Amino acid sequence: MAARVLIVDDAVFMRNTLKEIFTAQGFEIGGEAANGVEAVEKYRELKPEITTMDIVMPFKNGIEATREILKEDPNATIVICSALGQESLVMEAIEAGATDFIVKPFKAENVTQVVKKAMAARR
Amino acid sequence: MDMSKYKSLFMSDTTEHLDALEADLVQIERDPADKSRINEVFRHMHSIKGMAGSMGYDEMARLAHRLEDMMIPHRQHEKPLSGDEIDLLLRGLDEFRNQLDQVRDGKVPRPAHEDLLVAADKILRGAQLQAPPAGEPPGEPEGECRAVDGTMPVFKIELVISAQSGTPAVRAFLAYRRLSETGKVIEVVPGLAQLRSGHLEGRLVRFRLATDRGLAEIKRVFNTLVEVERFVVEPEDAPADREQTLFEKARSPLKTGRQKSDTVRVQTELLDFFVDSIGELITLRSHFEQLAERIEAPTLREGVRRLGKVVRRLHDRVMEIRMVPISLLTQRLPRVCRDIARSRGKQVQFEVEGENAELDRALVEALDTPILHLLRNAVDHGIETPDQRRRGGKSPLGKIKLAVKRSAERFEIVLSDDGGGIDAGLVLSRAAEMNIPMSENPSPSEALAMIFRPGFSTRTGATEISGRGVGLDAVKMEVERMGGRVSVRSEPGLGTSFVLDLPLTLAILQVLLVESGGVLLALPASRVLKVTAIDEGRKIASHGSDGSTIDPLIDLAELLGGVPAGQRQSEGEEALSESVVIEQDGQAALALAVQHVAGHVEVVLKGVGSLLARLGPFNGTTVLGDGRPVLLLDVDAVITRAHSAMREKPNGS
């Protein structure tokens, strides 16, 4: 069964980019969330194998959402999506328990490599 | 991956961010310490950076990156933004819009003005000098050396991050964090603080790890990390041979069923296609309806009636989809107002009321230019300078308000200012100077209406702000093209209001078809008071509605420059059999004599080119069910024309 991905990003554009990458690699898009609050709700509902998490989002940022998701499900595999120049935020997310991170702009091969390894790490 | 197909989505997403950014910045200018808005600005810059980077628009991403960096100290230390910083951000915003235009034109965005980037850097460097030193958070498990649990074996680890990594320090930090999950990291070289600062010289990091999980588990950490060039793990002392406590993390049971999104994004072109198709459906339905009447087929008529109901429902729902909040139009106005006011040395408070009202997207787009023009005028000509206002006993702060009111059928936009008002006398003397034709004794409202005449201006030298672009005549033409009307009210010393009265949607209109001079013409049904026999029309014409206005019976064909009535009467007496009474401002204004009224139909309105508009008082075209094209009469223009014709020939027809 294909692994299901929950894509969290406030930009539709980014979500679509990731969707295309994941779909091409045979992942199943389990759902999408546009902010941290939605992310926590969708995670609870879907229990996806993998979650990609943007950091800077309205209502609740990706770091807080990561923290909350992991509190409920310590096995959650969360990959942070960051931009160059966000090193300190990414490290904050890693401390919160994120499994790995990818840096925008995304390259399909990098994304899938990180995601597959992150899943292996949490197995 | 081919990103070109994401261009339109990129454009629309970025535009949304820019619009919101603009609104935030104008608010921040009022309250430079507004923490949530400062966060929002950061977020917008961040999103723009990410999207532009993904599209390969490096210059756009670069600018966003600088501006985002500039926001960091403000976010972290809740420091208010300075006026210079707000100005810089606004300039950046304009630059983004330019770059977006370049994208729209199929180009890759050019670099921003160098002085913009330099100014951002300067502010950034200044901030770094003042920023408190980046201290470690309290309770941090910091230390090149931590207490060693003597009972556990210790491993020495060397990790080299791949040269391809753009973020080696973060990679090293992640490795540290993952190792911490398997045991106790007792040493990191260079220190954690160094990693946190984002710099890692030589891409090499060393760890000492105390763990009882065994070698394989440590290796697994590195095998599940990316951008690892190589790693070496060796026991510091000969490790005790112990059983590895591998455990499998239980996966949560899989939930089946896919989540469906509630909304989808649709290209506006697709919506336009729906509207056009439904328009055609409505036209075809009219055609079948007439056919059913002609061949007297009741079953067919009933079927057509039912079809009509479905089409109508479909039309209503599609129109609903096309509705967008007018805030799309109004949200950038505060900025425009601010910029003009600043350049003119005026103080203006701008307010929008009813911006949640939803209107047809096409209307909102079409309104952009006229509203912008009226706002520019209000700031430039309407509001006085603070000194003038004080002398007039007013607060130095001028007020401009844009109010949107929606009713079931129409909506009204009122742009009012509390400025000096328009001097009707001045308007009249200017009009006379410019040889603009006018009536003998114009009423104050007639005099004010002169400002909508082509080429009219009360200023001798065009100012920087209002001297360019469209004049008020263009505003009037644009609004009328949408099937609306514009009027002005003004009280000298107290202010001016421009009122735009518009239909809710552009597309569908009830019209009355009349035949005049052998030509079929359409009149908007909303402006028709009644249809009477020609003699009744004469009666209305001779009585007038309240004595003050003239509502003559006038031959429509002659008014439009056709053959005069006298000549035509010799051709056949049935030429003028009915009259249509049309209204203006709720009162009977004119009775148009026509050959006959051909019926009441619903048509899909199409715009009229400016060339056609010059031919006569028309503001739309449509195609009937049987394919005949029909011109839609511009009722107000017809009335104006009739009134001036009446003045030339006081006895009427």
Residues B303 and B336 in one domain: no
Q: Where are the alpha helices (DSSP H) in B105-160?
A: 114-130
Q: What is the Cα–Cα distance from B628 to B64, expressed in whole angstroms?
A: 55
Residue B137 within a domain: no
Identify which of B619, B544, B528, B632 has the alpha carbon closest to the alpha carbon of residue B579: B528
User: Residues 148..167 of B with a Cβ closer than 8 Å to A: which?
Assistant: 166-167
Q: What is the Cα–Cα distance from B277 to B271, expressed in whole angstroms?
A: 10
Residue-range definition of the domain harbouring residue A21: 4-122
CATH number at residue A8: 3.40.50.2300
The verdict on a CB contact (< 8 Å) between A56 and B226 is no
Which one of A17, A47, A103 has the shortest CB-CB distance to B167? A103
Number of domains in chain A: 1
Burial of B456 (0-12, 13-18, 19+ CB in 10 A): middle
The length of chain B is: 653
Burial of B457 (0-12, 13-18, 19+ CB in 10 A): middle
Residue B250 within a domain: no
Which one of A14, A32, A87 has the shortest CB-CB distance to B51? A14
Residue B139: which pLDDT band, with cuts at 50, 70 and 90? Answer: very low
CATH number at residue B539: 2.30.30.40
Residue B534 within a domain: yes
The verdict on a CB contact (< 8 Å) between B259 and A45 is yes
Which one of B42, B53, B54 has the shortest CB-CB distance to A56? B42
Q: Which residues contact A35 (CB under 8 A, 6 or more apart)?
A: A8, A10, A57, A58, A59, A60
Give A10's contacts in chain B (Cβ within 8 Å). Answer: 43, 47
Q: What ipTM did this prediction achieve?
A: 0.87
| B197 neighbors B167 (Cβ within 8 angstroms) | no
Residue-range definition of the domain harbouring residue B230: 154-235
Residue B418 within a domain: yes
Q: Considering only alpha carbons, which residue of chain A is nearest residue B228?
A: A114
pLDDT in tens, B478-515: 787 777 788 899 888 889 999 998 877 655 677 888 88
B524 phi/psi in degrees, rounded to 5: -60, 125
Using CA atoms of B296, B302, B306, B309 in order, give the dihedral in degrees to the nearest 10. Answer: 60
Residue B33 within a domain: yes
Q: Which residues contact A64 (CB under 8 A, 6 or more apart)?
A: A36
Residue B459 within a domain: yes
Paired tokens of B560: 């439009």
User: Residues 31..70 of B with a Cβ closer than 8 Å to A: which?
Assistant: 40, 42-43, 46-47, 49-51, 53-56, 65, 68-69
The verdict on a CB contact (< 8 Å) between B249 and A75 is yes
Residue B604: which pLDDT band, with cuts at 50, 70 and 90? Answer: low
Number of domains in chain B: 5
pLDDT in tens, B197-254: 877 777 888 888 888 777 778 888 888 888 888 888 887 754 333 333 222 222 223 3
Instruction: Write down the pLDDT at residue A53.
Output: 93
Residues B332 and B368 in one domain: yes
| B501 neighbors B488 (Cβ within 8 angstroms) | no
Which one of B51, B65, B169 has the shortest CB-CB distance to A85? B65
pTM of the predicted model over 0.90: no
Instruction: Write down the pLDDT at residue B362.
Output: 76
Residues B469 and B536 in one domain: no
Q: What is the Cα–Cα distance from B591 to B616, expressed in whole angstroms?
A: 18
Q: What is the Cα–Cα distance from B236 to B207, expressed in whole angstroms?
A: 11
| B550 neighbors B584 (Cβ within 8 angstroms) | no
Using the 3D structure, point to which of B477, B503, B529 is the last residue of a domain: B503
Q: Which residues contact B181 (CB under 8 A, 6 or more apart)?
A: B221
The verdict on a CB contact (< 8 Å) between A16 and B6 is yes
Q: Which residues contact B229 (CB under 8 A, 6 or more apart)?
A: B160, B161, B162, B163, B203
The verdict on a CB contact (< 8 Å) between B224 and A110 is no
B251 phi/psi in degrees, rounded to 5: -80, 145
Using the 3D structure, point to which of B503, B535, B560 is the last residue of a domain: B503
For every residue of B576-635, DSSP letters joined together read: S-EEEEEEETTEEEEEEEESEEEEEEEEE-B---HHHHHHSSEEEEEE-TTS-EEEEE-H
Instruction: Write down the pLDDT at residue B465.
Output: 39
- Give the lowest-confidence range in B90-94, B116-120, B232-236, B460-464: B460-464
In this structure, the number of other CB atoms found within 10 A of the CB of residue B208 comes to: 20
Rounded to an integer, the average pLDDT of B461-469 is 39
Residues B342 and B331 in one domain: yes
